[in-house]
Structure 1
Amino acid sequence: MRRLVLPFVIAAFVAFPASAQSLAPYKDELFAYPAILSSEGEAYRVVDYREMRDINERDQVPERRVQGKYVSTGVRKTQQDLVLKTDVGDVRHFAVGKTEGATVIVLYLHGQGGSRKQGVEDFTFGGNFNRIKNLMADNGGLYLSPDFSDFGDKGVSEVAALIDHYAAQSPAAKIVVACGSMGGQLCWGLARDAKAATKLSGLMLLGSLWDEAFLKSAAFKARVPVFFGQGSKDPVFPIDKQEAFFRSILAESKSYPARFVRFETGTHGTPIRMTDWRETLNWMLSAK
């Protein structure tokens, strides 16, 4: 048995229907990638990232508050702070958009030291979390940002239970899981889970790690699209290893739906700030 307990509800939501295959634009001109320095088709691109331009000129207070034109805070009316009671324990999470009958569901899983609050921060990371919230609310979708116990099996089981619940409430929805930093352990754990993998339409690794076991996972066999966003100067997870892993996927299956965006000179948090949610999701939703 599962039931939702609502510690508080910010407000009822209003959502607008749209095809799950193509999300309508939202501030695309502000969030588009800067110049592409080089590419190998759509599969691999090197993006021109510059801290002075992409943080200092974009933010009103660098790394703390983006300029107002990048955000629309009216989306908070669709935001709820919930607790899902499951067989593996309580899963506290924010939900933005349609909790039933959603066209698409996107989850963000935070990294070490984070919490469910990170994924709904409107003004940090260049306003990119505010963008995904608005994209989901405006397109009849649902965005989830949960807490979880750890980055191991228990955390995977909690996220899987959350996916199970909302998949049942929105059976037609495609589901994409985005993982920041150490949250990638959960992405790879879900990929190995035969039941969870059947529900996935995409995995996004944002400044995250690799997992050789993915090549034998249920998600790989199901050809679940995978996106990698990585800063070239990431001190936590070296880009050379992540790029090598990406290429190992294509070596195993040349036609595998995988993409890599390298943010040149970017560091650990750059992909969370700079990844183009709409472009990536539209590719995944059309590929799976």
Structure 2
Amino acid sequence: MARHPYTGIPRWVSALAVLAVAVVVLPLVAIVAKVDWENFTTLVTSESALDALGLSLRTSAASTLLCIVLGVPLALVLARSSFPFQRLLRSLVLLPLVLPPVVGGIALLYTFGRQGLLGATLQVLGVQVAFSTTAVILAQTFVALPFLVVSLEGALRIGGHRYEAVAATLGAPPGVVFRRVTLPLILPGLASGAVLSFARSLGEFGATLTFAGSLQGVTRTLPLEIYLQRETDPDAAVALSLVLVAVAVAVVSLAYGPGTAARRGLAQRSTPPLILERSVK
């Protein structure tokens, strides 16, 4: 008779875990039950729905790329250096995690709007940011950047800097150490952070509505389309909500699936010696 491994988890803890799962899963089940399956294809393939979905995917991809370009150096500085007011800087960088998105949208509006801190200068140069597709990307980047920074800084701190130190003592310059040692080591964390940033950008609503508005094909992303359809066509809103849930589930599964965990373990075991060898060469 097969024996099950001892987990050490009390029954009441398991019961609360089941309750937690129900809190998350039951609303999703309710959406599935409410969908008008007979007209589902028609509801999700309307012109406004396709425009919103396409815009969401494009802007989320652009904001994720921007998060990577800006977040990798920021996480590296926070994890590998020490300077005055470092804790304050980290708190400010992570502030969008707890800040209501609409407040972030107002802050962006008074920064890049026509009468904003930088918007007036940009307006003179003929550049209008607010209420444009660029505004959508900036709003998504504002709320998604902390997710990538948190993932990367954690990966950098857990991994330490011994491999970088060894590569430096072997004569590798800082640029080579970063490309050949640091970047491959943090690649699993970077991938997870990028996927989470994409998911957060895809679901962004408050900052986008406040800073970019809701113009079809220009600034109306899928969450905004769902909100508008909720007032005029509830069936379409439910169908589009299911589409957004499906995309979100796929994205999260990509970040935390079993295959991803296996690749992380493989990278941690095999990458450092190979990297060091290449960095010396």
- Where relative contact order (Cα < 8 A, 6+ residues apart) is larger, the structure is 2
With the length of structure 2 as denominator, give the TM-score of the two structures: 0.24
Q: Report which of the two has the higher share of strand.
A: 1
Q: Which has the larger radius of gyration?
A: 2
Q: Report which of the two has the higher share of helix.
A: 2
